[in-house]
A and B are shown apart, each in its own frame.
Chain A
Amino acid sequence: MSEFAIVLRSLRIRALSTVLTTASIALAVALLLVILTVRDTSLRAFSEGGGNMNFIVSRDDSPLTSVLNGLFHANAPPRPIEWSRYSEIRTKYPLEFAVPIQLGDSFRGLPVIATTREFFDRYQPGGGGGGTWRVREGRLFDAPFEIVAGARAARMTGIRIGDRLALAHGYGPDVPRAGEVIRGDSPGYEPHLHDDHDPEDGHVCPPGHVHYNYTFEVVGILEPTGGPHDRALVTDLVGSWIVHAQERRVLEDRFADTTEADLLDEDRLITGIYVRTASRAGGRFSGVTQQVFTDLRRDPTLTVAEPGQQIRTLFEIVTNVDRVLLALAGAVLLTSVASILVALTGAMDQRRRQSAVLRVLGFSRARIFGLSLTESALMGLFGGLAGVALGAGGTQLVAAALETRTGLALDPPMLSRWAIALLALATTLSTIAGLLPGIALYRTQVAESLRPAAA
């Protein structure tokens, strides 16, 4: 019989107290793990999300909203920028790139970025993917109605090269997830052209409405970049304009297919511009950048946001809450560990007797002390392991909930670097908590402890 078996049996004898103590440690570790992992992943996702742009221009209500919507696809931006204004900005300033993006459509809740090839050719995404776009399968889009799926979007939806997608209007926490995959083998597909509009209320595209009249062919699937665009689908801007122009034309009782030639200025809308000023190689925020930034901000209709600065602001707000949560979780862990002390000392009479019997059987004081410490350490280890498992699952749930409610994809790792640290912390603290009872057992007077209770 091994000493480990003795300890396990000892824990089983006090099963209720062992389970309760272990469970409370598990909860504390899980809580800490979720908070720390989500904080780490969100910090990384946010701080690397901007890629090589200097700032983003939009008509969102605030710079922070502009970054959250334009970069992290939290919600569809509410107000568009006219193409003429975009062209003006592009020509007026010395820019390395000004990538137009139009957000507003989605596929099964995932954002669709309508843009130009400049998006892939000039803009480099952030994240851990090396900062470049790489095509895993197929190719980038070359024409309207071709669409490329981000790695995560492809994984989440199961779409394949050659699929045709009917996109939906709108996305965000309150918008139904809609969109259809049209495959050659899809039974009974019939485009619902003209069917989904309600001329009475004049609302051309209610949120969740599916644009069945035009479909987009999946021509490529990207490698992961580790950034927010992994969960997006990217298509040509003109195609998106045509889809929405068609909606307008239907209301005008013009049912013929819309072409690029039919587009009016009012159809050529975007929701944001990714801007990088011309600067020396490696320069991030030069004097020119600052000048352009300041000048653009003079236009009260525009919101100009520097992603890094907005993310820092966001995290300053979040960090205070974060600290409170961490302190609470730490307090829970300390309380749980203290409960080990209570559990072990609470059963001290029984444990003294057990130790006295083991001494009679030839166990030394040091061995008894070791058994006691192992027992408390195991409670911490078991609690820690359960907590890590619980926390890993909890982190994924929290990330999924965040994505559902806010549209922000964190993609946390299954096992974060905090897991081992928290496991070690729980085990160490539990071992320390076992010191006092261990010392008490070490000092146990065998002769006294063996006396019959009634004697």
Chain B
Amino acid sequence: MVSADGVVAALRIRGLEFAFPGHAACVQVPSLDLSPGEHVLLAGPSGCGKSTLIHLVAGLLEPARGSIEVAGTPVHSLRGSARDEFRGRAIGMIFQTFNLLPGFTALENLLLAAMATAESPTAVRSRAGQLLRDLGVEAVDRRIERLSVGQQQRVAIARAVVNRPALVLADEPTASLDPENAVRAMDLIQSTCRGAGAALLCTSHDPAMRARFPRVVEAGVFQAPGAVTADAVAPLPVAQGAHA
């Protein structure tokens, strides 16, 4: 969907409802937009469904209702491999536990992601290597399990932006870090996304994260499956707007 000023939103959600099979709805998002390059924090307590929303946006879960568009493409209208390929090209993901592939080198972890693009292998290799070095990973040919945790995190961030995605989804990227390292990690994530021109939707239950984002969306009421009442099923983004 193109906005009035002719800009395609990085993320556009309308009337989204999702429930795990056999349970009442646990994610409801009436409306949520991210402009290109915009950084938004999705805040809320653990277990409230933030990760579920991330997986819905990535097209890894099927919504019961509603639509999700990434860079103007309705994710769930794509089927099978088309959706997978779109995800690989247009969406980068960063996880709490990095989810890098052991046995592969730092560079190869990026090259795996780059297989979703039609770019020439030589160009991809060169760009991926440069990206890793820009992020301070010099040992690009070292196997991932032989890198320090900090270096692994940099590789995970590089992998998320190597295909120059429109949207980066970061799911609790600092949950396992101490406050000092969490700050460093978020600095790196945000600066890298800025450098790549990617919008960032980051989830966190850490209140300290709020200050880092120009806009915070409160994950509203999520509940234990099977214990849902009509009152309890409130829209996910109970608040939208800038939170300094």
Contact = CB atoms under 8 A, between A and B. Distances in A.
B51 interface: yes
Contact of A361 (B52, B96, B115): B115
B84 A362 contact: yes
Interface in B77-97: 80-81, 84-89, 93, 95-97
Given A360-B93, A452-B96, A1 B108 contact: yes
B84 A364 contact: yes
Interface stretch (B7-15, B98-106, B236-244): B98-106
B115 A359 contact: no
A19 to B, nearest CB: 15
A79 B115 CA distance: 79
Contacts of A357: 99-101
A447 B60 contact: yes
Given A9-B103, A359-B84, A452-B176, 8 more contacts: A1-B111, A13-B102, A360-B87, A362-B89, A362-B116, A364-B81, A446-B60, A447-B52
A249 interface: no
A370 B78 CA distance: 21
Contacts of A10: 103
B58 interface: yes
B89 A359 contact: no
B85 to A, nearest CB: 5
A353 B100 CA distance: 10
A361 B116 contact: yes
A360 B88 CA distance: 7
A12 interface: yes
Contact of B88 (A356, A363, A446, A452): A363
Contacts of B176: 452
Interface string A227-261: 00000000000000000000000000000000000
A359 B88 CA distance: 8
Contacts of A360: 58, 60, 87, 93, 99
A193 interface: no
Interface in A1-23: 1, 6, 9-10, 12-13
B55 A452 contact: no
Interface of B: 51-52, 55, 58, 60-61, 80-81, 84-89, 93, 95-97, 99-104, 108, 111-116, 121, 159, 175-176
B60 A361 contact: no
Nearest to B172: A452
Interface string A349-371: 00001101111111111110000
A278 interface: no
Contact of A12 (B80, B87, B103, B111): B103
B55 A446 contact: yes
Contacts of B81: 364-367
Contacts of A353: 99
Given A357-B99, A362-B115, A362-B116, A447 B61 contact: yes
A361 B88 contact: yes
A365 B89 CA distance: 16
A447 B99 CA distance: 12
7 contacts: A9-B104, A13-B102, A356-B99, A362-B87, A362-B115, A364-B80, A365-B84
Interface in A408-429: none
B3 to A, nearest CB: 27
Interface in A52-93: none
A363 B84 CA distance: 6
A361 B89 CA distance: 8
Contacts of B97: 452-453
Contacts of B89: 362
A450 interface: yes
Contacts of B99: 353, 356-357, 360, 450
B162 to A, nearest CB: 10
Contacts of B116: 361-362
A366 B80 CA distance: 9
Contacts of A359: 60, 84
B88 A362 contact: yes
A202 to B, nearest CB: 77
A222 B49 CA distance: 87
A451 interface: yes
B60 A362 contact: no
A99 B24 CA distance: 98
Contacts of A365: 80-81, 84
Given A359-B60, A361-B116, A447 B84 contact: no
A450 B52 CA distance: 11
A447 B58 CA distance: 10
A10 B93 CA distance: 22
Contacts of B112: 1, 6, 358, 361
Interface in A234-292: none
Nearest to B108: A1
A361 B121 CA distance: 16
Contacts of B52: 447
A1 to B, nearest CB: 4
Nearest to A13: B103
Contacts of B111: 1
Interface centre among A6, A13, A361, A447 (most CB of B within 10 A): A361
A454 to B, nearest CB: 9
Interface in A95-112: none
Contacts of B115: 1, 361-363
Contacts of B104: 9
Interface in A364-393: 364-367
A364 B85 contact: yes
Contacts of B58: 360
Ordered nearest first, which 6 A-B pairs have the shortest CB separation? Answer: A362-B88, A362-B116, A364-B81, A13-B103, A447-B55, A1-B111
Contacts of B55: 446-447, 450
B113 A361 contact: yes
A325 B115 CA distance: 48
B102 A362 contact: no
A121 B86 CA distance: 82
A438 to B, nearest CB: 16
